[in-house]
Amino acid sequence: MSTAIAVTSADLVLPPTDPGPPQAALLPPPESRSLDASLADMQQLLARYGHVVVVCPTAAPTAVEHRLHAVRALLESDRIALVRTDLPPLGAAVLVRQLRQLAGCDFSPGVLASAARLLAHYIYAGAVLGSVSRLDRVPVSLGSHLKGWLPGAHFAVLAGPTPQIVRLGGGEGHLSGPEFATELLLARGQLQTDWPTSTLVPRWRIPGPVHEAPLPASSPGWWGTGKLVEFAAYLPDLPVLYQLVASVRRETCHWCGMELIGDRCGFCVAPLAPPSPPDPGVRALGAGAQAGAHARVLGPGARSARAALP
């Protein structure tokens, strides 16, 4: 059986970039669905696919998280993974689309669930904002808050992988972007600006066309303003995504027995058990092999991004 990718909001479902990826299953919000109905929905997904990976942003209402935990507990199922992500709405939607792409490959459910943390480090998610006065999900300096009161002030903000804020037109530097080939997705709010296409695209050396999507309904709340243009630079090609995930060493969760990559299980969230001390020469060889694999997949820029791997 394959693995179902489920989401907690329709905003997390983007059109596919290539034909054939599985559709995402939408789990209705608790206020519109009874607990019994939610249980039935999840049982159907498990019966059809065997395992379910649910992507739920950390910014989602608390009631959504509580419902997911209740469903998993009542079903007493170890085949449901709850993947939380700190990415802003458009970046989270890109992550879901990448997981959908990989769900059609030969990865086990455990590898697919734990791959979400790895993939998030290669999504450059940000926005151009008309104000940062209500932005509380990215660190904002006092100076940026004060400059936000200046007439016509605009800010370019990167939420991840490394938070950054620069005032546009203020000579305060620029956003550090990916050092590997990406595509750019835009979602336009109420702010009128062409900065992402006129400045960000050439600076980040994005070769392909810029794609656009409707602004997620949760974006104004996440960014603290409706005057924004949200963007996300990402790896679009399935072969590259596949090699990126496949190049990471796989482990077996000591608690639930699922396969995983990184330092924790995507299903039971148990941390990776510390290994017995290997021979120093073998350990050095293994680290070098993994570093070389990522460099071959993404090129020279992978070395800086690799430091953020889980």
In the structure, what pLDDT confidence band is assigned to residue 303 with cuts at 50, 70 and 90? very low
Q: What is the pLDDT of residue 16?
A: 80
Q: In this predicted model, what pLDDT tens digit does every residue of 54-108 receive, in sequence order?
A: 999 999 999 999 999 999 999 999 999 999 999 999 999 999 999 999 999 999 9
Q: Which residues contact 110 (CB under 8 A, 6 or more apart)?
A: 253, 258, 259, 260, 265, 266, 267
Q: Return the percentage of the chain with pLDDT > 70, whole number.
A: 83
Q: Which residues contact 50 (CB under 8 A, 6 or more apart)?
A: 1, 2, 3, 79, 109
Mean pLDDT estimate for the chain: 87
* Structure-token pair, residue 66: 């509580």
| Mean pLDDT value of segment 279-300 | 53
Neighbours of 27 (CB within 10 A): 22
Q: Give the span between the Cα atoms of 32 and 18, in whole angstroms.
A: 32
Q: In this predicted model, what pLDDT tens digit does every residue of 120-169 receive, in sequence order?
A: 999 999 999 998 889 999 987 655 544 554 556 799 999 999 999 998 87
Chain-centre distance of CA 161, in angstroms? 10
Q: In this predicted model, what pLDDT tens digit does every residue of 231-276 receive, in sequence order?
A: 999 999 999 999 999 999 999 999 999 999 999 999 999 998 776 6
Q: What is the pLDDT of residue 150?
A: 56
Q: What is the pLDDT of residue 278?
A: 60
Q: What is the pLDDT of residue 289?
A: 47
Q: What is the pLDDT of residue 19?
A: 72
Is the model's pLDDT at 297 over the cut of 50? yes
Residue keyed to tokens 């479902």 = 13
In the structure, what pLDDT confidence band is assigned to residue 22 with cuts at 50, 70 and 90? confident
Q: Which residues contact 290 (CB under 8 A, 6 or more apart)?
A: 247, 248, 249
Residue keyed to tokens 């077996």 = 252
* Max Cα-Cα span within the chain: 62
In the structure, what pLDDT confidence band is assigned to residue 209 with cuts at 50, 70 and 90? confident
Q: What is the pLDDT of residue 121?
A: 96
In the structure, what pLDDT confidence band is assigned to residue 15 with cuts at 50, 70 and 90? confident
The lowest-confidence range among 5-9, 78-82, 120-124, 283-287 is: 283-287
